[in-house]
Chains A and B, each alone.
Chain A
Amino acid sequence: MKRLVVFMVLLVAATFGLAQTRPLFAAMFPALDRPVYVQDSFAALMLAHLALVGVSSLIAIVVGIGIGILVTRRAGLAFRGIAETLAAMGQTFPPVAVLAIAVPVMGFGTMPAVIALVIYGVLPVLQNTIAGLSGVSAPVREAARGMGFGPLRVLALVELPLATPVILAGVRVSVIINIGTAAIASTVGVKTLGLPILLGLSAANTAYVLQGALLVGLLALTVDAAFDVAARA
């Protein structure tokens, strides 16, 4: 809890205060004409980044948990191998490559970015959903069935609650990776905290790179601390 508060304060301070740190970056990088990124407000970038992460993570979580539940049901058992393989492929595929393929098909913009992030984010959720649901002990499941819990009740009252810690760990990994990966979406013209980083890299402006990276890093740490609090609850 303490960690969460500290990171949150730092994150808010950096988001709204970074624009006022010109003297600091000017001193650090005296060769740069514009030592602080001013093309967009950091708050606007943070909001856009959060929106992109929020939407893509939400889809990845729903898809990951949904497929995880389906392939652990008796009817879906046959698809478990395929689902795991596809999700694993999704993660070995670099998001940049997904973007490179998506852009010619769908053009620049938010859609290809969301798709790339979803594909990338499904695996940890799916893997942990399968692991968590399979980890529910057979006697517990048998007792539930034998007492007259229908399939939905077994899932909702027994399997999911028991699998929640494992599933939550997968969601945590997925979201944290997503926060970092979302920065790449700026290569296809989406406004994210990656924008200062990309501009900084192409214009040899290390100060921009630092500012973008600082915010992405703080956001990841804050969200991770929030998951920590949730996992302990």
Chain B
Amino acid sequence: MIDFDGVAKAFDGRAVVQDFNLHVADGAFCALIGASGSGKSTILRMMNRLIEPDAGRIRFAGQDVADLDPTLLRRRMGYVIQSAGLFPHWSVARNIAAVPALLGWDRARTQARVAELMTLLRLDPALGRARPHELSGGQAQRVGVARALAADPDVLLMDEPFGALDPITRAALQAELARIHRETRKTIVFVTHDMDEALQLATQVVVLEDGRVLQDTSPADLLAHPANAGVGAFVGRLDRGLKLLSLLAITERLEPGADGPEVPDDIDCRSALSRMIELSVDRLTVVDVTGQVRGHVALAGLMRS
């Protein structure tokens, strides 16, 4: 869906991105992760031509973005930024309908789409008439995501979208985004400096340092085989095992028969381990939402990585 080929960019003579190559597959959730100044935002902003590269080629759905009109290109890419950037003089509904309005959708279609998105982002329909300043930070960012999705873009570009939110709101929105990715199968490129966020959400993690790729792989592979000490430091040395467990659904370590206290079947193995420690047991019975026993997990099974 998006390909970078030997892309470079310098600001005031300082190289921010160097010889950068990237392939984001259709439907992938790609997290660009790195410290401040690693070039991750610059890379994102080159995708929708808010920044023009000095060298190299960027292709979007097979076309060189340099050949496309930047304004029309951006309408095909949803864009979410950290502070949401909602238009303060427009209602929530009009904010969400911004790109459909640019594309000349008729009233009925636009209204239907706004209602659909407010449901998708779990926004109270009554908020449609509210102004952005009346929203909480979490609500504002939900509107920001809804606005980016409004015209059903091919990709969603997100620049630290949850960076300014408190941990509880952030967790809720992360879960929401994971669900949206599952349901819509949209290609998402996501900039963050939070490794846990990247590991939890992404299917492809690209670790950046000084505008270069340190490693570009799946979350599990990144944890199991960090390419070098730099990446190792980024993913965390001491709790890497726990992070690996958090990528594993409890159902993947299921053994037959009930044994031990009950836990739901939609948690990850890290939560299961936590529950074992909390209850001082080494076996947990896994039940589905109806209370039906699906099997059990054992401590030894969790250890087997």
Interface residues of A (CB under 8 A from B): 137, 139-140, 142-150, 153, 158, 161-162
**Is B85 touching A140 in the complex (CB atoms < 8 A)?**
yes
**Is A147 touching B98 in the complex (CB atoms < 8 A)?**
yes
B229 at the interface (CB under 8 A from A): no
**Is A143 touching B102 in the complex (CB atoms < 8 A)?**
no
B-side interface size class: 20 to 34
B79 at the interface (CB under 8 A from A): yes
**Is B71 touching A142 in the complex (CB atoms < 8 A)?**
no
Compute how far the CA of A18 lies from the CA of B18 in the bound complex, rounded to whole angstroms. Answer: 79
Knowing A147-B147, A153-B102, the reply to whether A139 touches B72 (Cβ < 8 A) is: no
B127 at the interface (CB under 8 A from A): no
Residue B87 contacts which of A146, A148, A150, A158 (CB distance < 8 angstroms)? A158
What residues on B are CB-neighbors of A143 within 8 Å? Answer: 79, 81, 84-87, 144
Determine the main DSSP class of B at the interface with A: mixed
**Is A145 touching B50 in the complex (CB atoms < 8 A)?**
yes
By beta carbon, the residue of chain B nearest A164 is: B89
B91 at the interface (CB under 8 A from A): no
Contact residues of B between 64 and 121, Cβ < 8 Å to A:
71-75, 79, 81-89, 98-99, 102
**Is A147 touching B81 in the complex (CB atoms < 8 A)?**
no
Given A142-B81, A146-B74, A147-B102, 18 additional A-B pairs, CB 8 A: A137-B85, A139-B83, A139-B84, A143-B86, A143-B87, A143-B144, A145-B50, A145-B74, A146-B50, A146-B81, A146-B157, A148-B72, A148-B73, A148-B99, A149-B71, A150-B71, A153-B102, A162-B88
Compute how far the CA of A137 lies from the CA of B132 in the bound complex, rounded to whole angstroms. Answer: 14
User: How many pairs, one residue from A and one from B, have CB atoms within 8 Å of each other in the complex?
Assistant: 54
Compute how far the CA of A147 lies from the CA of B79 in the bound complex, rounded to whole angstroms. Answer: 6
What residues on A are CB-neighbors of B75 within 8 Å? Answer: 147-148
By beta carbon, the residue of chain A nearest B101 is: A157
B48 at the interface (CB under 8 A from A): yes
Compute how far the CA of A149 lies from the CA of B151 in the bound complex, rounded to whole angstroms. Answer: 14
Per-position 1/0 for B158-178, Cβ under 8 A of A: 000000000000000000000
By beta carbon, the residue of chain B nearest A153 is: B102
**Is B48 touching A162 in the complex (CB atoms < 8 A)?**
no
What residues on A are CB-neighbors of B71 within 8 Å? Answer: 148-150
Compute how far the CA of A71 lies from the CA of B166 in the bound complex, rounded to whole angstroms. Answer: 39
**Is B88 touching A147 in the complex (CB atoms < 8 A)?**
no
Tell me the minimal C-beta distance from A92 to chain B in angstroms.
35
By beta carbon, the residue of chain B nearest A151 is: B71
What residues on A are CB-neighbors of B99 within 8 Å? Answer: 147-148
Question: Could you give 12 example pairs across A and B, Cβ below 8 Å?
Answer: A140-B85, A140-B87, A143-B79, A143-B85, A146-B50, A146-B79, A148-B71, A148-B73, A148-B99, A148-B102, A149-B98, A162-B89
**Is A144 touching B102 in the complex (CB atoms < 8 A)?**
no
Per-position 1/0 for B137-157, Cβ under 8 A of A: 000000010011000000001
What residues on A are CB-neighbors of B102 within 8 Å? Answer: 147-149, 153
